[in-house]
Every structure is written in structure tokens, then in C-alpha cells.
Amino acid sequence: MTFDVKRVRAAYPALSDGYSYLDGAAGTQAPATVIEAIAGAYRAGIGNVGGVFPASGRSGSIVAECRQALADLTGASPDGVILGPNMTTLTYRLAETLSRSWGPGDEVVVSRLDHDANIRPWVQAAARHGATVRWAEADVATTELPAAQYGELICERTRLVAVTAASNVVGTRPDVAAIATAAHAAGAAVYVDGVHATPHVPVDVRALGADFYGTSAYKWSGPHIGTVVADPALLETLQPDRLAPAPAGVPGRFERGTAAFADLAGVAAAVEHLASLDPAVSGSRRERVLASMAAVEEYETRLFARMLDGLAAMEHVTLYGRAARRAPTAFFTVAGHTPGQAAGHLAARQVNVWNGDNYAWELAGVLGLRDSGGAVRAGLVHYNDEADVDRLLAAVAELG
Ligand SMILES: Cc1ncc(COP(=O)(O)O)c(C=O)c1O
């Protein structure tokens, strides 16, 4: 397993601006290959799909290659890859569709660990159809989402369990497979938010037990495109609203209007970028993605320990997030400074971080941070290095 961060950083034009990009949890930079793939699509000439001329055919090929790339990234079938603008839009669309058959007495389970994009669409859909919402609680002290509680929460009336594969603020990676097993035993579907997990770990939707898995390419070096992947046979059972002349098949009937074709070329390039992060591995792209993401996980875990140890040593810093398994994302407050002030100080030191609840709105409430401006979020991705971490630590130390 090799990880050459110098080589990786050289692939990203934006990283030469002198800033430390610790804002990857809100969106990553794009490597030159992704930028070129998008520009290349426009340069070659693209048209809308379904026409009889070559430029239209090129867009059709881009869509097919994008579905295959996302299948390679997640372990799904390309025929079950739904493409859209972002995870939130697609989740609302699926909530609208799935909830059609819900009624009084039916139940859905959401978690307080999740980003609001995997909570509110389900809560609002349940309210529209008279279904009951049950809440899985995050433990305040450990920020774990104990899987054992799902035994109590799930019953034969449960229709859907929505849970994140990783918290976008405290990084907690719950035992999704155990939760999915409990859900499936009761006949419920499992909707997994993979937006924060996908950039950090190898993903296998079947091993997770995810009936639906959402992820957004802009969190893993791609353009602003989202996807939800599912078993095509499951999608066949669902009828989303669609225009009369629009594609009736799967997955096309879940996609609305004209796609961002050039960006989709960038998504495939981003998956190829991830697959090439460990150049020592060979094999199919799926095999290279799995091996490269294992190398990424190991590299980020090591770098994250440096960040956490440094922050934990500062008396003026309060760290949130103690889960045993977590993505490399730190969430902290700084005594005497609002999160906005602290982030502003870091920006002046050329360190990009986020402040606020980052839409983990329920969790911010659990942690008592919702009304005080949230916290500072500093997250690592595979292009960050020790210099980024050390600059963050030096700048936070100045606030003491
Ligand atoms: C964990 C998580 N889920 C969902 C979302 C929403 O994703 P999108 O912006 O693609 O709608 C985000 C975005 O920050 C996120 O971090």
C-alpha cells in the first residue's frame, strides 16, 4: 500500500494558491484530469441525448460511462445509478416516491446523527402521509449512534430506515450493516447517506445493506453532481412523477430534465482519479478503487491522529466527536471566540475551515451548539498533508 501525497497534490491546480484546504467536507478541489474531462466534452461537441447525430451520441456515451464509473465506485449495478444535481434533490425525489404507499400506522426511522438532507425529506414525507417518525439517538458523550437501539425502534410497521454512513461534522461511522440487517428482518428499506463516507473509505453498498446509497461527486474531487444508487429491480417497483414523453425505464425515469452532460464526464474522471491514488495496484477499476480508497483511509487516519492530538493538547479547545470508527473530520470550539471568529482568524492565516452546524442540525441540538453558532469544522481529504495540519494547529494555538 503506497500513498504519495506530493504526487497527489501536484494533480490539483487549485492547491498552488497557498491555502490549506481543510474545507473538503463541504466540497473538494478538482484535479486537472477532471477539469480537462469537463472542458474536453465541450470542446468535442455535445448535444442532448437521443438524437441521430454524433454529438448527441457523445452525450449518450458520457452518461453510460458515468453510470459505470459510479457503479465501480460503490459496488452497485450501472443500471441502478440515478444521476441528479445533488444528494438533497435526489433524496427529496425518492422520499416523495417511496412515501406514496405510506399511511397512518406506518413508521420511518431517522437518526439525530444525520445531515438534515437524510432527515427532513423523510420527516416531511411521513407528515404528509400520516406516518410516524421514530428517532435513533446519538450519544452525547461518545457521539456514537448505537446500533443496538434499532432493535427497539424497528417493528413490522417500519417502512424505511434512513441512516448516515458517516457524520459530516463529528465523523462517526455507525454500524450501518447491523442497522440494515435489523431493518431488512422487518421488511423495511434502508436509505444510506454516503455523502461524507465516500471520500474516505472503500464503499460496498451490498456489504453495507444499503437499498439506496446517496453520494455527491463534489465531495470526492468531482463536479457538483449527485447520485443515488439502488438495485434496478427495486427501482422497477417505484413510479416517480415524470413528464409523459420522458424515459419510462429504470433508472431514467428517476432523472428529471436535461442532465449536465459535461459535468458527468467530470464524474467519471473523478472516479478514475480515486482509482489511481495508489498507482501500485492494478486490475479492474473497481479493484483499483477499493485498493486506493483503503490506502486513502490509512493515510487520512494517520494524518487525522496528528490533527486530533494537536487540538486535544490545547486547553482553550473543546473537541466534539469521540466515536471509535470515524471519518477524519474534527469539530471544535475555541474558548473566548465564536466559531465564526475562529474561522475568520484561520482564514487570515490561509486555512479554510467551516463554522456553524453544517446542516447537522439535529446533532448540533444534541451537542448544545445549535444556538451558539455551532462549531469549527476542519476536515481532511486525501490531498491534505502534514503542513496543512501544522498550519491549522499553529493558527488555533494563537487563539489561546
Ligand atoms: C453527510 C451529508 N449528507 C448530505 C449532504 C447534502 O449533499 P448535497 O449538497 O449533494 O445535497 C451533505 C452536504 O454537505 C453532507 O455532508
pLDDT at site 332: 98
pLDDT at site 126: 98
The helix or strand, by DSSP H or E, that contains position 227, with its residue range, turns out to be strand 226-230
pLDDT tens per residue across span 365-380: 999 999 999 999 999 9
The pairing of strands 132-136 and 329-334 is unpaired
Task: List the alpha helices (DSSP H) in 213-284.
Answer: 232-236, 261-275
In whole angstroms, give the CA distance from residue 128 to residue 366. 26
Answer yes or no: is the C-beta of 119 below 6 A from any ligand 1 atom. Answer: no
| Ligand 1 atom, smallest distance to 89 CA | 11
In whole angstroms, give the CA distance from residue 132 to residue 239. 23
In whole angstroms, give the CA distance from residue 270 to residue 224. 11
pLDDT at site 1: 60
pLDDT tens per residue across span 157-187: 999 999 999 999 999 999 999 999 999 999 9
Kindly write down the DSSP assignment for every residue of 96-145, as one continuous string.
HHHGGG--TT-EEEEETTS-GGGTHHHHHHHHHHTPEEEEEPPPTTT---
Answer yes or no: is the C-beta of 113 below 6 A from any ligand 1 atom. Answer: no
Answer yes or no: is the C-beta of 87 below 6 A from any ligand 1 atom. Answer: yes
For residue 373, what is the DSSP state?
T
- How many Å lie between the centroid of ligand 1 and the Cα of residue 340? 21
Give Cβ neighbours of residue 309 (< 8 Å, ≥ 6 apart): none
Residues of the chain with pLDDT under 50: none
- How many Å lie between the centroid of ligand 1 and the Cα of residue 198? 11
pLDDT at site 315: 98
> What would you report as the CA-atom Rg of the chain, rounded to the nearest whole angstrom?
21
Residue the block writes with cell 492530538? 309
Give Cβ neighbours of residue 130 (< 8 Å, ≥ 6 apart): 102, 103, 104
Three-state secondary-structure class, residue 107:
strand
Q: Which three cell numbers stand for residue 25?
A: 467536507
In whole angstroms, give the CA distance from residue 235 to residue 238. 5
- How many Å lie between the centroid of ligand 1 and the Cα of residue 319? 22
CA distances from residue 305 to 296, 299, 329, 391 in whole angstroms, order as listed: 14, 10, 11, 15
Mutate to test the pocket of ligand 1, among 70, 83, 87 (most ligand atoms within 8 A of CB): 87
For residue 14, what is the DSSP state?
G
pTM of the full predicted structure?
0.98
Q: Is 358 exposed, middle or buried (0-12, 13-18, 19+ CB in 10 A)?
A: buried
For 172, phi then psi, to 5°, come to -50, 130
Answer yes or no: is the C-beta of 193 below 6 A from any ligand 1 atom. Answer: yes
In total, the chain counts a number of residues equal to: 400
